[in-house]
């Protein structure tokens, strides 16, 4: 046994770290945007670690009430810390929140109330409300979803009736199903909300508009007259229990006319309504939120993997060979097959997000210059990637939990909690299947363009009526990015064109187009899922090619991870590639063997690949995932 300070590391973990072929710090800096940003993140974390308010010791034992109180305390303390340390960047406040493992009481204020004000408020409204919200003088939420209305926004029932006589708007919940339900920080924390409601002027319905409504007294925090508000109860995630999701009903609550957001739509005092000049602008915000969820799915999955992979290096169970000592469970191929494809997914998601983010920023620039052309494509891409990344990360995180056996089932392993948050993200900001169907609309439209001889959009430039069998016959051949790209593109092309034809043939034979859409919708979802996977493969491969200033050792490991992501996706969904006629059974066998070969290559890198995410023990808060692991 070693005697130096290095002895503090569990020898199995130390051994695993010794087998990595790349420099972990180099990868950490690459993942976090350089040394400076990494150090800044660590500095923010250090503020939390030394502050008792942010202790996570009792994170897994607090009941709902105390969990909420703790979130509140952390939020307040974070605001103080930001003042003390001159933290003004809102992204850094978000980072403090993430690292602390809490939902701050002003979470929705930051992610929805303020951005909606910025996006849809008039200059006058922004001048009045933004300083109040940004200085925490008011805490706002965003109250859209109703008990009876989630996916279908046009179905919202809450009314906002203009009373010309007083120049007020009357906000009202006409039924129980109109009750707002789910908004975060609504149950207890917020005193204001932006409320989407149907604007009614002189009995004419102008559709859903946005209104700023005060919910609680700014001094006593008691609900104002006409407001019924409270907490909706326990949720799957215990962390989200700290987020005080709430319900809210209005009984003819009057607000002044100037609390309708008028940056886009307008209502004059004499009741003349003007539609927004470009309603598509709203899609921009949705793309933003969905891209952020892609990033968050990586943040959650990579923590689960850090826990499960470190545990698998340290846990010894059963004998690989009779008479030997019990083996590290990471040595079992079945365990590697559980964890390494998830690791590849986490890295693929990270590089995909970076790519999508650049796309989003490019679109925002164009929009500012009056060019909206990128909107439909970015909307489809972000919707598909949101659905694909959350579903797939949820699946891998569940596998991490199962891979840790009984220990993984205890809350303090952190794995149940990570699973439940990913589970929520499959529903919020658009149910994944509903999103896939939105993507499918875009795919079918593009297929029609191809059929009409027009050029499809950029991300679907490969769409065509023809698919050919891939000519590659060797494992090494399938590591060629051009081959990988072509396989995924051809699969998607075949699936899109086939389902488009199936849809059209139904319509041609007289079926109502809405019925026909429903009839083939299971296939549409499958095809949108395949497309989203394909987008991820394309972005990942492009990112790998564009990597600059990266050492050859690191580049080689990242290439293996990318290969594993691409080829595992084929091996696990072999049916769709076979059915599309892109690959034959012999090639699937070769690919499967290549996946196993990649696992052999990546196993010695695995612990260092999770180390590179740079999660401290404080952030992970899991005895199974500790950086040093003392042998017991």
Annotated binding site: 145, 184
Residue count of the chain: 632
- Closest to 231 measured CA to CA, from 182, 197, 277: 182
DSSP conformation letters of 120-180 = HS-HHHHHHHHHHHHTTSS-EEE---BTTBSS-GGG---EEEEETTTTEEEEE--SGGGSE
CA distances for 450 relative to 31, 443, 472, 531, angstroms: 38, 11, 28, 16
- Which residues, in sequence order, are CB contacts of 42 under 8 Å at separation 6+? 614
Tokens 């016959």 locate to 473
CB of 438 to a copy of itself, least distance (A): 12
Tell me how crowded residue 308 is: count the other CB atoms within 10 A of its CB.
32
d(CA 483, CA 587): 12
Instruction: Give whichever of 331 and 507 is closer to a copy of itself, judged by the CB atom.
Output: 331
Asked if 108 and 183 count as a contact pair (C-beta separation under 8 A), the reply is yes
Tell me if 588 contacts a copy of itself by CB under 8 A: yes
CA angle 621/626/629 to nearest 5° reads: 145
**Backbone dihedral angles phi then psi of residue 47, each to the nearest 5 degrees:** -60, -40
Among 60, 357, 372, 462, binds a copy of itself (CB under 8 A): 60
d(CA 380, CA 373): 13
CB of 359 to a copy of itself, least distance (A): 28
DSSP 316: B
Instruction: Give whichever of 368 and 585 is closer to a copy of itself, judged by the CB atom.
Output: 585
Of 146-185, binders to a copy of itself (CB under 8 A) are: 147-152, 155, 175-177, 181-182
CB of 94 to a copy of itself, least distance (A): 23
Which residue among 92, 134, 168, 429 is the active-site one? 429
Among 41, 198, 401, 486, binds a copy of itself (CB under 8 A): 401
500-529 burial string, b = 16+ CB within 10 Å, else e?
beebbebeeeeeeeeebbeebbeebbbbbb
DSSP 103: -
Of 316-335, binders to a copy of itself (CB under 8 A) are: 316-322, 326, 331-334
Instruction: Give whichever of 262 and 606 is closer to a copy of itself, judged by the CB atom.
Output: 606
CB of 343 to a copy of itself, least distance (A): 16
Interface map 275-314 toward a copy of itself (x if CB under 8 A): ----------------------------------------
d(CA 272, CA 276): 13
Asked if 162 and 197 count as a contact pair (C-beta separation under 8 A), the reply is no
Instruction: Give whichever of 509 and 548 is closer to a copy of itself, judged by the CB atom.
Output: 509
CB of 424 to a copy of itself, least distance (A): 6
Our answer to whether residue 429 is catalytic in this structure is yes
Among 52, 225, 406, 510, binds a copy of itself (CB under 8 A): 406
Instruction: Give whichever of 12 and 398 is closer to a copy of itself, judged by the CB atom.
Output: 398
Instruction: Give whichever of 92 and 617 is closer to a copy of itself, judged by the CB atom.
Output: 617
Tell me if 573 contacts a copy of itself by CB under 8 A: yes
Interface map 189-228 toward a copy of itself (x if CB under 8 A): ----------------------------------------
First CA to last CA distance, the chain: 15
Tell me if 579 contacts a copy of itself by CB under 8 A: yes
* Binding-site size, a copy of itself (CB under 8 A): 80
Of 129-148, binders to a copy of itself (CB under 8 A) are: 145, 147-148
Asked if 571 and 558 count as a contact pair (C-beta separation under 8 A), the reply is no
d(CA 228, CA 234): 19
CB of 328 to a copy of itself, least distance (A): 12
CB of 504 to a copy of itself, least distance (A): 17
Of 348-387, binders to a copy of itself (CB under 8 A) are: none
Instruction: Give whichever of 157 and 611 is closer to a copy of itself, judged by the CB atom.
Output: 157
**Backbone dihedral angles phi then psi of residue 316, each to the nearest 5 degrees:** -115, 130
- CA torsion, points 599, 602, 603, 607, in degrees to nearest 10? -140
Beta strands 227-231 and 204-214, pairing class: unpaired
Instruction: Give whichever of 109 and 576 is closer to a copy of itself, judged by the CB atom.
Output: 576
Which span (2-10, 232-240, 352-360, 473-481) binds a copy of itself, by CB under 8 A? 232-240
Residue list for the binding site for FAD? 145, 184
CB of 521 to a copy of itself, least distance (A): 5
Interface map 408-447 toward a copy of itself (x if CB under 8 A): xxxxx---x---x--xx-xxx--xxx---x----------
CA angle 305/306/308 to nearest 5° reads: 60
Instruction: Give whichever of 31 and 248 is closer to a copy of itself, judged by the CB atom.
Output: 248
Interface map 11-50 toward a copy of itself (x if CB under 8 A): ----------------------------------------
Of 495-524, binders to a copy of itself (CB under 8 A) are: 512, 514-515, 518-519, 521-523
SS3 at position 628 = coil
CB of 203 to a copy of itself, least distance (A): 20
Largest CA distance in the chain: 90
Which active-site residues does the annotation give? 429
């Amino acid at each position: 046994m070693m005697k130096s300070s290095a002895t503090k590391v569990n020898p199995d973990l130390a051994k695993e770290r010794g087998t990595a072929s790349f420099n972990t710090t180099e990868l950490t800096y690459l993942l976090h945007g350089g040394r400076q940003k990494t150090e800044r993140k660590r500095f923010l974390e250090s503020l939390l670690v030394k502050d008792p308010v942010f202790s996570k010791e009792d994170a897994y034992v607090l009941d709902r009430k105390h969990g909420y109180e703790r979130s509140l305390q952390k939020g307040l303390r974070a605001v103080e810390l930001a003042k003390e340390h001159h933290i003004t960047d809102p992204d850094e406040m978000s980072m403090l929140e993430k690292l602390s493992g809490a939902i701050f009481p002003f979470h929705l204020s930051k992610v929805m109330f303020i951005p909606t004000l910025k996006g849809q408020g008039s200059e006058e409204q922004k001048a009045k409300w933004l300083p109040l919200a940004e200085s925490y003088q008011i805490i706002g939420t965003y109250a859209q979803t109703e008990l009876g209305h989630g996916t279908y926004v046009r179905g919202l029932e809450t009314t906002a009736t203009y009373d010309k006589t007083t120049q007020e708007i009357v906000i009202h919940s006409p039924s129980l199903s109109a009750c707002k339900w789910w908004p975060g920080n609504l149950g207890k924390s917020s005193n204001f909300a932006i409320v989407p409601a149907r604007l009614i002027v002189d009995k004419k319905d102008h559709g859903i508009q946005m209104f700023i409504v005060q919910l609680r007294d700014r001094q006593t925090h008691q609900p104002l007259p006409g407001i019924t508000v409270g907490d909706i109860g326990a949720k799957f995630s215990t962390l989200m229990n700290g987020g005080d999701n709430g319900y809210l009903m209005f009984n003819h609550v009057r607000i002044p006319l100037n609390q309708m957001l008028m940056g886009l739509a307008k209502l004059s005092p004499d009741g003349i309504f003007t539609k927004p000049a470009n309603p598509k602008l709203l899609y921009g915000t949705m793309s933003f939120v969905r891209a952020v969820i892609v990033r968050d799915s990586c943040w959650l999955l990579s923590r689960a993997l850090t826990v499960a992979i470190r545990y698998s290096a340290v846990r010894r169970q059963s004998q690989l060979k009779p008479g030997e000592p019990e083996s590290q469970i990471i040595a079992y191929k079945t365990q590697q097959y559980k964890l390494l494809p998830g690791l590849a997914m986490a890295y693929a998601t990270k590089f995909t997000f970076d790519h999508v983010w650049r796309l989003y920023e490019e679109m925002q620039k164009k929009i500012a210059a009056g060019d909206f052309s990128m909107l439909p494509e970015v909307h489809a891409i972000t919707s598909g990637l949101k659905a694909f990344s959350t579903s797939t990360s949820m699946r891998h995180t569940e596998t991490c939990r199962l891979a840790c056996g009984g220990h993984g089932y205890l809350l303090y392993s952190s794995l149940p909690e990570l699973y439940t948050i990913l589970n929520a993200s499959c529903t919020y900001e658009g149910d994944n299947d509903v999103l896939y169907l939105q993507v499918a609309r875009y795919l079918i439209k593009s297929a029609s363009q191809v059929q009409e001889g027009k050029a499809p959009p950029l991300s679907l430039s490969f769409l065509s009526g023809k698919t050919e069998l891939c000519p590659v016959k060797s494992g090494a051949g399938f590591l060629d990015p051009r081959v990988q790209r072509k396989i995924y593109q051809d699969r998607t092309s075949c699936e899109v064109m086939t389902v488009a034809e199936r849809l059209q043939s139904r319509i041609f034979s007289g079926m109502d187009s809405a019925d026909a859409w429903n009839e083939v919708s299971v296939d549409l979802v499958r095809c949108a899922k395949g497309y989203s996977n394909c987008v991820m493969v394309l972005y990942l491969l492009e990112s790998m090619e564009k990597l600059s200033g990266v050492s050859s050792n690191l580049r080689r490991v990242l290439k293996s991870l990318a290969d594993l992501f691409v080829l595992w996706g084929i091996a696990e969904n072999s049916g769709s590639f076979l059915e599309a006629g892109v690959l034959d059974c012999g090639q699937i066998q070769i690919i499967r063997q290549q996946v196993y070969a990649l696992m052999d290559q990546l196993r010695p890198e695995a612990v260092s690949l999770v180390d590179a995410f740079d999660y401290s023990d404080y952030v992970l808060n899991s005895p199974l995932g500790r950086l040093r692991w003392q042998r017991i």
